[in-house]
């Protein structure tokens, strides 16, 4: 891994099938809306060896016309929505702040849990996101400090603590501990 600047990292990892699927999905998504990948897949992309059933993604507010074009392209490219087949119902989920899950046709996992960032802390994920450069393209991921604080102080499962430890080790000379503590305080008050 190489740190290009404070908002960009270059990964030298071997791209696996999950990575290829993620890049395929976000390749469609980014044509229609802005996004940031959050949670467990971030640790996996950064080299943590574990499986996942879903890839969590925040998107910005999306109007019905843009969503319609996105949904049509996802279907054309072989994805289906686990929540519903109704385009207006899926859009309603997103508009209400609920997640819509998409997977390859004939599969349920891994799936992409897409949610509109509505809360201030979630919206901020777009401000301090990181560009991860790979051999198959670039991907926007949530800041490492945000990930560590979220996993250690909000989710707190064994898997999440291990994800946080992995990222702390990978970024030990590049972490902003004040930023981690700021997010920690905001997450704790959010509960």
Do 97 and 153 have their domain in common? no
Do 94 and 78 have their domain in common? yes
Sorting pLDDT into bands at 50, 70 and 90, what band is 187? confident
**CB proximity list for 88: less than 8 A, separation 6 or greater:** none
Do 77 and 135 have their domain in common? yes
Do 48 and 61 have their domain in common? yes
Asked if 114 and 90 touch (Cβ cutoff 8 Å), the reply is no
Which residue in 150, 128, 130 sits closest to 141, CA to CA? 130
Q: Against a cut of 0.75, is the pTM above it?
A: yes
pLDDT digits (tens, 9 = 90+) for 49-68: 999 999 999 999 999 999 99
d(CA 49, CA 81): 27
pLDDT digits (tens, 9 = 90+) for 102-160: 999 999 999 999 999 999 999 999 999 999 999 999 999 999 999 999 999 999 999 99
* Residue 28 φ then ψ, to 5°: -75, -50
CATH number at residue 10: 3.30.460
- Sheet of 54-59, strand order: 2-5, 8-10, 130-134, 137-141, 35-38, 54-59, 111-116, 100-104, 79-81
């Amino acid at each position: 891994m190489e740190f290009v600047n404070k908002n960009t990292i270059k990964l030298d990892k071997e791209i696996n099938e999950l990575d290829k699927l993620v890049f395929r999905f976000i390749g469609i998504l980014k044509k229609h809306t802005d996004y940031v990948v959050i949670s467990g897949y971030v640790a996996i992309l950064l080299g943590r060896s574990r499986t996942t059933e879903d890839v969590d993604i925040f998107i910005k507010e999306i109007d019905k016309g843009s969503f319609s074009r996105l949904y049509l392209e996802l279907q054309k490219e072989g994805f289906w929505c686990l929540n519903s087949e109704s385009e207006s119902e899926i859009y309603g989920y997103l508009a209400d702040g609920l997640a819509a899950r998409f997977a390859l046709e004939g599969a349920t996992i891994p799936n992409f849990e897409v949610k509109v960032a509505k809360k201030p802390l979630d919206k901020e994920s777009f401000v301090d996101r990181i560009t991860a450069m790979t051999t198959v393209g670039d991907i926007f991921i949530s800041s490492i400090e945000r990930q560590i604080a979220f996993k250690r102080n909000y989710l707190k499962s064994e898997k999440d603590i291990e994800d946080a430890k992995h990222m702390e080790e990978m970024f030990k000379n590049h972490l902003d501990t004040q930023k981690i503590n700021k997010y920690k305080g905001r997450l704790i008050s959010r509960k």
